[in-house]
Structure 1
Amino acid sequence: MPNYLLQWEAIRWAKSQGAIQYDFWGIPETEGEEEAMAGVYRFKRGWGGDIVRFVGCYEHAYHALAMRV
């Protein structure tokens, strides 16, 4: 599957650059099959690793006009 190959190559590149962690950027709060993103959860958890919870993600537009384009 292309998704796996893309992630694998990104992980390999990051490791070659000295990275010791790779962040898949979020999973659903629950792991139930009724969850809309259950497939995304399975894909990301299929790589192994630990779940790490952060406070949240925020964006700040330094140039608000440029963000509208």
Structure 2
Amino acid sequence: MATTGTKTTRYTEAEAADRLAFADAALGAAGHEVTDPVLNEIAARFARGEISIEEAGELGDWHILGR
């Protein structure tokens, strides 16, 4: 995985839960739901600030597309 040098902000578990709830609500409003546990864990890691959005996208690509 390529690194971008992007520094991420860390969030508390409560803040991360709020961020995930917002994303789930937005997806639900559009009639979508993510049920894949690997993708949900990637989203949780991003919500906690453990990885950047670029890293989350790369991990999702690897999981779904194998690249």
Please say whether Structure 1 and Structure 2 have the same fold, judged by a TM-score greater than 0.5. Answer: no
Q: TM-score range by the shorter chain?
A: 0.3 to 0.5
Larger RCO, structure (CA 8 Å, separation 6 or more): 2
Larger radius of gyration: 1
User: What is the TM-score normalised by the length of structure 1?
Assistant: 0.35
User: What is the TM-score normalised by the length of structure 2?
Assistant: 0.36
